[in-house]
Amino acid sequence: MSERTQFYTADEIRERLSISTLVFRQYRPISEGALEELARHGIRKIELLESPEQFDMTSRRSMRFIRDACRSCGVEVAAYHAHKTNFSDLDTESERSARVDLCRRQIDTMLDLGGALWGSHARATDRTLVRSYEDLARHVEGTGAVVTVENFTAEGLSVEDRMAFLDTVDLRQVGLILDIGHVRDPDGVNPMTIPGGPTRVLELCGRRLRHVHLHGFKDGVDHHPPFVEGDGIQWVELFRMLRTVGYSGVMNFEPVGEPQYHNSVEATGLVPERIVEMEAQVR
């Protein structure tokens, strides 16, 4: 086997390339026009961000319009990101079970659309969250789908905290969304910007890693387009490690788009060739 085959090919990355519809938030509706722009830039998978002002993820009737728009543009829904949904405001068991039920209905429409990964913002990793995720894990059992929690910089929500939660639940269909802009060392520095950092973080995630939120990180600010001028992310080490740990999810990017950044879709579309070139240069 040649050295060359030890990294992804551009085609392999393109095949798995995905973008969060965060890129259109509060600026462009999730319409055929928006999805066609993604397809034009070679992006054929999306992570659909919960956007109640546009559609109701719990309603088959509502999600039909997204399904039809995706189909006509050749775009697939890879994942749902229910960022407005969490389990920290629930005082009673009936409130908890109503929230789980809402999540189940979101998951059902996601499965209809062909998606296989549901994630919430989940907040505190307490007993309510453990029980709710156990319920959701039962719901997706046998479907091939995964339910996930994301890491954040706030106390109790770090990668280490999320791994402790996932070890408690310890189910194959419950895993982590690693957001590379939300990781911090005790000194406040993002380890994904320091050589050796991505290796340490990805080793910590191991087989629990089921999804990624990738974006440029510059001057302490996340959600930039990938490879923005001054981007500190150790992209080559990160992609090498995704391969090393056997990450099998989509290569999902989560930059903010217009009006803040004008090239987020374009920059994401250029990732496959760009990362393969960068990796070859440092070999």
Choice between 73 and 193, CB closer to Zn ion: 193
CB 1 to Zn ion: min, Å: 35
**For the stretch 181-203, what's the b/e string if a residue is b when 16 or more beta carbons lie within 10 angstroms of its beta carbon?**
bbbbeeeeebbbbeeebbbebbe
Choice between 179 and 237, CB closer to Zn ion: 179
For residues 82 and 63, give the distance between their C-alpha atoms in angstroms, rounded to a whole number.
14
Segment interacting with Zn ion (CB under 5 A) among 61-69, 72-80, 107-115, 179-187 = 179-187
CB hemisphere CA count around 92 (13 angstroms): 3
Instruction: Give the one residue of 139, 210, 213, 240 binding Zn ion; rule: CB under 5 A.
Output: 213
Paired tokens of 273: 């060739």
99: left (phi over 0), alpha (psi -120 to 50) or beta: alpha
Helices 32-40 & 60-73, crossing angle to 10 degrees? Answer: 40
Q: Burial level of 159, CB count in 10 A (0-12/13-18/19+)?
A: buried
Choice between 267 and 276, CB closer to Zn ion: 267
Helices 271-281 & 235-244, crossing angle to 10 degrees? Answer: 100
Choice between 45 and 213, CB closer to Zn ion: 213
By CB under 5 A, tell whether 179 contacts Zn ion.
Answer: yes
CB 150 to Zn ion: min, Å: 6
Segment interacting with Zn ion (CB under 5 A) among 7-15, 89-97, 122-130, 206-214 = 206-214
CB 179 to Zn ion: min, Å: 4
**Number of residues near Zn ion (by CB under 5 A):** 2
CA angle 127, 88, 46 (to 5 degrees): 105
| Residues 50-89, mask of contacts with Zn ion (x by CB under 5 A) | ----------------------------------------
| Residues 108-147, mask of contacts with Zn ion (x by CB under 5 A) | ----------------------------------------
Paired tokens of 130: 């453990």
Q: What residue spans of the chain are helical by DSSP H?
A: 10-16, 32-40, 60-73, 93-112, 127-140, 159-169, 197-205, 235-244, 264-269, 271-281
Site for Zn ion in 247-276 (CB under 5 A): none
Segment interacting with Zn ion (CB under 5 A) among 108-116, 168-176, 184-192, 205-213 = 205-213
CB 100 to Zn ion: min, Å: 22
CB 173 to Zn ion: min, Å: 20
Residues at the interface with Zn ion (CB under 5 A): 179, 213
